[in-house]
């Protein structure tokens, strides 16, 4: 039973496709039969089945130890092994950067809220810097998600704990704005607004602003000295 749970958890946690083997995996066919399964992006959470199977096997192992040695020695061995396991899996440093200041809603998101109030459909927003294209991004991207509760527009970048196939590559391409490849992705995802935040370097802020002013692909809304919105033209 435990071996079956571990095997099932392993196969499902890989996801819908295997890029290494170039084949569709069982979860793909399950999602075709049960459509709501396709909404599960963080398939690695199926690894909980692996843990469940390991816990079952661990229980049998503890029982075997306790029946073959004295109670005192068995307790000592189990305690020692448990401590070793905790030391081995406990992270010494989590991959999160500490917050640099107290949280307050973004000025740009306040402006986006004004624009969203004038719309009958959800706006789609892309924030810069795109921290997903850099190491150690969860806190900064999570801040974008918290700020989005001011307007509830759809945001293209934000930390969800999962990276769907191709997502990070797209973020890295979008981070090359105003390259032609990034412009094509903006059109593909129907992005309405670019939010250029203060952490973007002055050179990059000016480069992006100059591009849209010259190309007429969008209009610039100055919010304050160091940040602005680009409202993209709708085709």
Q: What DSSP string runs through 202-226?
A: HHHHHHHHHHHHHH-SEEEEEEETT
Residue pLDDT tens, the chain, 235 long: 788 888 888 888 888 887 777 888 888 898 888 887 877 777 878 888 888 888 888 888 888 888 888 888 888 888 888 888 788 777 666 666 666 667 788 999 999 999 999 999 999 999 999 988 776 667 778 889 899 999 999 998 877 666 677 888 899 999 999 999 999 999 999 999 999 999 999 999 999 999 999 999 999 999 988 999 999 997 6
Q: Which two tokens stand for residue 164?
A: 């769907």
Q: Are residues 228 and 122 in the same domain?
A: yes
Residue-level pLDDT at 218 = 94
The answer to the question of residue 94 being in a domain is: no
Which domain does 74 fall in, by range? 2-89
Q: Are residues 27 and 83 in the same domain?
A: yes
Pairing of strands 154-155, 218-224: unpaired
Region label for 187, one of left (φ > 0), alpha (ψ between -120 and 50) or beta (otherwise): alpha
Q: Are residues 115 and 216 in the same domain?
A: yes
Q: Are residues 111 and 223 in the same domain?
A: yes
From residue 66, alpha-carbon distances to 52, 80, 81, 85, 198 in Å are 21, 14, 13, 18, 61
Which residues, including other chains, have CB under 8 Å from residue 232's CB and lie 6 or more apart?
Answer: 186, 191, 192, 193, 194, 217, 218
The answer to the question of residue 100 being in a domain is: no
Q: Are residues 206 and 162 in the same domain?
A: yes
Q: Scan for tokens 């307050």, then name that residue.
A: 104
Residue-level pLDDT at 93 = 66
Angle at CA 193, nearest 5°, toward 188 and 194?
95
Q: Are residues 9 and 52 in the same domain?
A: yes
Residue-level pLDDT at 21 = 78
Q: Are residues 66 and 118 in the same domain?
A: no
Q: Are residues 227 and 114 in the same domain?
A: yes
Q: Are residues 78 and 189 in the same domain?
A: no
Q: Are residues 118 and 225 in the same domain?
A: yes
- Domains of the chain: total: 2
Q: Are residues 66 and 123 in the same domain?
A: no
Residue-level pLDDT at 72 = 87
Residue-level pLDDT at 136 = 63
């Amino acid at each position: 039973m435990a071996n079956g749970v571990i095997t099932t958890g392993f196969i499902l946690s890989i996801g819908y496709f295997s890029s290494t083997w170039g084949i569709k995996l069982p979860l793909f066919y399950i999602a075709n039969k049960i459509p709501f399964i396709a909404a599960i992006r963080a398939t690695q959470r199926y690894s909980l089945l692996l843990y469940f199977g390991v816990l079952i096997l661990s229980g049998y192992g503890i029982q075997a130890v306790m029946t073959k040695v004295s109670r005192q020695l068995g307790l000592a061995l189990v305690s020692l092994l448990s401590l070793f396991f905790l030391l081995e899996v406990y992270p010494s440093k989590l991959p999160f950067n500490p917050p640099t200041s107290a949280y307050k809603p973004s000025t740009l998101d306040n402006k986006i809220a004004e624009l969203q109030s004038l719309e009958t459909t959800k706006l789609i927003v892309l924030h810069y810097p795109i921290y997903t294209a850099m190491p150690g991004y969860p806190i900064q991207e999570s801040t974008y998600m918290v700020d989005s509760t001011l307007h509830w527009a759809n945001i293209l970048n934000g930390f969800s704990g999962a990276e769907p196939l191709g997502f990070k590559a797209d973020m890295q391409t979008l981070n090359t704005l105003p390259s032609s490849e990034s412009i094509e992705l903006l059109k593909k995802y129907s992005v309405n607004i670019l939010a250029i935040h203060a952490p973007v370097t002055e050179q990059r802020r000016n480069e992006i602003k100059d591009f849209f002013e010259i190309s007429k692909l969008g209009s610039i809304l100055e919010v304050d000295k160091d940040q602005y919105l680009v409202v993209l033209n709708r085709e």
